[in-house]
């Protein structure tokens, strides 16, 4: 665990504690006391004094990287150079160019690199996608919003903050997963006092006339929902982030899929080209 972020405490360390084919072995953080606390509560054996020391640990096979967005590229490259597999928190990078560089580094190192988009591993999402095979989708609406305080790395532009990268990446990836690559992109955003987007609305147009309406925000009450409208029916369901934290924990399923692929020397269960393509659309939304 390269960093002691809240997502590591709430989701990944519990998932690692229950996952098959994986064991939480070591953690490092700039905050040594927080690292010790996480290690104690989640039964992690080792606390390293810094990130470099953890990367030098020969018994560590893989790194989960929950650092702020602007640090994903740097520490992924260093972890790959140290011979570690990397499960990197979303978004994989700040833009598609960085992600392509990281993919080249993973191939050169012969190690697994995967973006931690856990929702793709939830059985309900997989079932929904399977049910839409061959079905003409007319409209997709997806929103992920929550109220954020006026402090923290998510509001710092130099750390890659903003609602689009933080939660909008889920929505764009979902639209691509169900509809393919958009032909047209339009967007509106609202900037906060620090210069990052507090909210972003995007409209994506696809071949055949399908439209995806996406809304990511730090300025609205917590809400996560997906609506899909086809020629013959409509489905509305929660997006699997908090509402679906059930026995089919998508974080555990993601960790297990990643670990099996790493142990077998296989390709990542979520291909890097998928993550790069999502970042290309995020780049287009920013440009729009």
pLDDT tens-digit series, residues 206-239: 999 999 999 999 999 999 999 999 988 999 888 7
Please state the CATH superfamily assignment of the domain spanning residues 6-115 in this structure: NAD(P)-binding Rossmann-like Domain (3.40.50.720)
Rounded to the nearest integer, the mean pLDDT of the chain is 94
- Whether 283 shows a pLDDT value over 70: the answer reads yes
- Whether 149 shows a pLDDT value over 90: the answer reads no
Distance CA 86, CA 84 (A): 6
Read off the pLDDT of residues 240-264 as tens digits, 9 standing for 90 and up.
Answer: 655 445 678 999 999 999 999 999 9
In this prediction, residue 151 carries a pLDDT of 75
- Whether 196 shows a pLDDT value over 80: the answer reads yes
CA angle, 50 then 54 then 56, to 5°? 120
Distance CA 165, CA 171 (A): 10
In this prediction, residue 243 carries a pLDDT of 44
Strands 234-238 and 223-230, by their bridges, are antiparallel
> Where does 88-218 have alpha helices with state H?
96-109, 123-131, 163, 169-179
In this prediction, residue 110 carries a pLDDT of 97
Read off the pLDDT of residues 155-179 as tens digits, 9 standing for 90 and up.
Answer: 999 999 999 999 999 999 999 999 9
Tell me which residues are annotated as active site.
90
Read off the pLDDT of residues 10-20 as tens digits, 9 standing for 90 and up.
Answer: 999 999 999 99
Residues of the chain with CATH 3.40.50.720: 6-115
In this prediction, residue 242 carries a pLDDT of 53
Read off the pLDDT of residues 7-58 as tens digits, 9 standing for 90 and up.
Answer: 999 999 999 999 999 999 999 999 999 999 999 999 999 999 999 999 999 9
In this prediction, residue 240 carries a pLDDT of 63
In this prediction, residue 142 carries a pLDDT of 96
CATH match for 123-243 among 3.30.360.10, 3.90.320.10, 1.10.1530.10, 3.40.640.10:
3.30.360.10
In this prediction, residue 229 carries a pLDDT of 97
Residues of the chain with CATH 3.30.360.10: 123-243
Read off the pLDDT of residues 69-126 as tens digits, 9 standing for 90 and up.
Answer: 999 999 999 999 999 999 999 999 999 999 999 999 999 999 999 999 999 999 989 9
In this prediction, residue 244 carries a pLDDT of 46
> Using alpha carbons only, how large is the chain's radius of gyration in Å?
19
Q: How far is CA 201 from CA 118, 186, 236, in A?
A: 23, 8, 19
| CB-based contact 238:225 (threshold 8 Å) | yes
Give the global pTM: 0.95
The fraction of the chain above a pLDDT of 70, given in percent, is 98
| CB-based contact 208:138 (threshold 8 Å) | no
């Amino acid at each position: 665990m390269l960093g002691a972020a809240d997502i590591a405490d709430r989701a990944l360390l519990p998932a690692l504690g229950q996952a098959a084919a994986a064991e939480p072995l070591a953690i490092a953080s700039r905050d040594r006391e927080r690292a010790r606390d996480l290690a104690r509560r989640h039964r992690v054996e080792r606390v390293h004094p810094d990130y470099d020391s953890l990367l030098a640990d020969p018994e560590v096979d893989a790194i989960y990287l929950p650092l702020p967005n602007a640090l994903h590229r740097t520490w992924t490259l260093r972890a790959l150079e140290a011979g570690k597999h990397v499960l990197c928190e979303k978004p994989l990078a700040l833009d598609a160019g960085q992600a392509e560089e990281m993919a080249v580094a993973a191939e050169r190192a012969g190690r697994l690199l995967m973006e931690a988009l856990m929702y793709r591993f939830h059985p309900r999402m997989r079932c929904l996608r399977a049910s839409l095979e061959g079905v003409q989708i007319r409209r997709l609406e997806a929103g992920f919003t929550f109220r954020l305080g006026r402090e923290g790395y998510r509001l710092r532009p130099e750390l890659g903050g903003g609602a689009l990268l933080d939660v909008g990446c889920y929505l764009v990836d979902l639209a691509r997963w169900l509809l393919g690559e958009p032909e047209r992109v339009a967007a509106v955003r609202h900037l906060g006092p620090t210069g990052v987007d507090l909210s972003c609305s995007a409209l994506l147009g696809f071949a055949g006339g399908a439209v995806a309406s996406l809304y990511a925000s730090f300025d609205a009450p917590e809400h996560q929902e997906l609506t899909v409208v086809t020629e013959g029916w409509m489905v509305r369901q929660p997006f699997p982030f908090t509402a679906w934290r059930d026995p089919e924990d998508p974080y555990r399923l993601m960790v297990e899929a990643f670990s099996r692929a790493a142990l077998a020397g296989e390709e990542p269960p979520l291909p890097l080209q998928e993550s790069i393509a999502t970042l290309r659309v995020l780049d287009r939304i920013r440009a729009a």
